[in-house]
């Protein structure tokens, strides 16, 4: 994987660049739709490419390991062949999913023991094992196994957790460098900076990660219960240390405002389930604010979902019609909302990139944060 830093905004740390993989080039900053089990919920691959204009999507090691399993993925020739997506794929190592199974997992030096949420069967994720699983999945960008502590964890627990994550990282990095891809193209491996909400732990983690010299680096363990301002502070702390000539991936974040604030602080890559999950529940994000499509105020509003500027779905879909679909519990409502929200997110980061290249990102971003946080 290669990264070209093309521009940095003169008034902040916002960056524009190009990430080149064997499955294509990604223009940054970029938002990555989440396709946990090999699909972005309610969205076809054609829509991801043509309507949403996604450049890279995510898969999840935990979920793909359980279903369909690595044997099926190997037989298919990897996830790209299995799901028909011919552009880059990034896989999360499953650390966050194991974290979320707190009642059904145990963390040991050797790895994370857990029970499947599907059938209760017992499994072990080791740092080496998740590299092997991601080799079988065939992701262009693989992630290290880490522990993701709560944003409210106390200092002693956070320090202990970071120690475990660091030891796991060294083992995973060794396994990655000892193995090769299975399908004839290059894969790369991102370490993850943890450290909870404690600046000294974040600095320690960032220094240890930077020393590895990986092709890119990730910031994990944020948006897990801490206030947004604390999250932004941790991003600043980490990005002061992470190499400027490598992409920085902020994991699992978040709202349109979160994304713009992260870009201002030098983040290049982001993902979140929010556009699809919230969309399926009737929340639409627009360039003018947030709409709850179940609200009665939209019942006789026959204007398009976004009245001016870019249209993220067919303008024939009016607010009144989409509200009707949600009230009637029609599946089409979830599909329209998912496509709209994802296309809006991709448009937003595309506009951020355009303003970074033009050198006027900061004033545009300040105005956009105020707009995208309004409740319509």
Tokens 């929340």 label which residue? 283
How many Cα neighbours within 13 Å face the side chain of 239?
Answer: 21
E-only strand ranges, the chain: 2-8, 15-21, 24-28, 30-32, 57-60, 89-92, 105-107, 112-115, 122-125, 141-143, 188-190, 192-193, 217-219, 248-250, 269-271, 283-286, 289-292
CA distance 339 to 12: 31
Give me the DSSP letters along 164-211.
HHHHHHHHHHHHHHH---SSSS--EEE-EE--TT-HHHHHHHHHHHHH
Sort 233 into a burial class: Cβ within 10 Å, 0-12 / 13-18 / 19+. Answer: middle
Spatial CB neighbours of 230, under 8 Å, sequence gap ≥ 6: 151, 197
Annotated catalytic residue within 92, 140, 146, 215: 92
The one catalytic residue among 9, 51, 140, 271:
271
360 is catalytic: no
d(CA 5, CA 19): 9
With CA atoms as reference, report the closest residue to 164 among 125, 217, 122. Answer: 125
Q: Are 61 and 348 in contact (CB under 8 A)?
A: no
Nearest to 263 by CA among 158, 372, 169: 372
Task: For residue 24, list its beta bridge partners.
Answer: 21
| DSSP 8-state class, residue 242 | S
DSSP H or E stretch at residue 228 = helix 228-239
366 is catalytic: no
For 135, the 3-state DSSP assignment is helix
Q: Which long-range contacts (CB under 8 A, 24 or more apart) does 119-126 make?
A: 123/65, 123/66, 125/62, 125/93, 125/94, 125/98, 126/171
Cα separation, 105 vs 72, whole angstroms: 26
Active site residues: 92, 271
């Amino acid at each position: 994987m290669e990264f070209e830093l093309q521009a940095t905004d003169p008034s902040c740390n916002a960056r524009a660049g190009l990430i080149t993989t064997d499955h294509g080039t990604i223009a940054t900053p970029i938002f990555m739709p989440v396709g946990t089990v090999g699909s972005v919920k309610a969205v076809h691959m054609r829509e991801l490419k043509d309507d949403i204009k996604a450049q890279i999507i995510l898969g999840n090691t935990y979920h793909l390991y359980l279903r369909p399993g690595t044997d099926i993925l190997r037989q298919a020739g990897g996830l790209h062949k299995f799901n028909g997506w011919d552009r880059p794929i990034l896989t999360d190592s499953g650390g966050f999913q194991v974290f979320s199974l707190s009642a059904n997992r145990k963390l040991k030096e050797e790895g994370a023991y857990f029970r499947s949420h599907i059938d209760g069967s017992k499994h072990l994720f080791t740092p080496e094992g998740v590299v092997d699983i991601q080799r079988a999945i065939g992701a262009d960008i693989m992630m290290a196994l880490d522990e993701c502590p709560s944003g409210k964890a106390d200092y002693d627990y956070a320090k202990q957790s970071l120690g475990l994550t660091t030891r796991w990282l060294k083992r995973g990095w060794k396994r990655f460098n000892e193995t090769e891809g299975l399908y004839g193209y290059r894969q790369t491996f991102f370490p993850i900076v943890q450290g909870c909400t404690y600046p000294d732990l974040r600095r320690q983690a960032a220094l240890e990660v930077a020393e590895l010299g990986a092709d890119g680096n990730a910031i994990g363990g944020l948006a897990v219960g801490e206030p947004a301002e604390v999250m932004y502070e941790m991003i600043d702390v980490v990005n002061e240390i992470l190499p400027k000539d490598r992409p920085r991936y902020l994991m699992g974040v978040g709202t349109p405002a979160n994304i713009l604030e992260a870009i201002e602080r030098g983040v290049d890559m982001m993902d979140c389930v929010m556009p699809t999950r919230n969309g399926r529940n009737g929340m639409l994000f627009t360039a003018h604010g947030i709409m709850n499509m179940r609200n009665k105020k939209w019942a006789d509003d026959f204007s398009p979902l976004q009245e001016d500027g870019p249209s993220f779905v067919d303008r024939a879909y009016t607010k009144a019609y989409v509200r009707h679909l949600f009230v009637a519990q029609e599946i089409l409502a979830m599909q329209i909302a998912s496509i709209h929200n994802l296309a809006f997110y991709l448009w937003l980061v595309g506009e951020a990139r355009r303003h970074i290249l033009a050198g006027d990102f900061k004033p545009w971003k300040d105005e956009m944060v105020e707009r995208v946080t309004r409740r319509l």
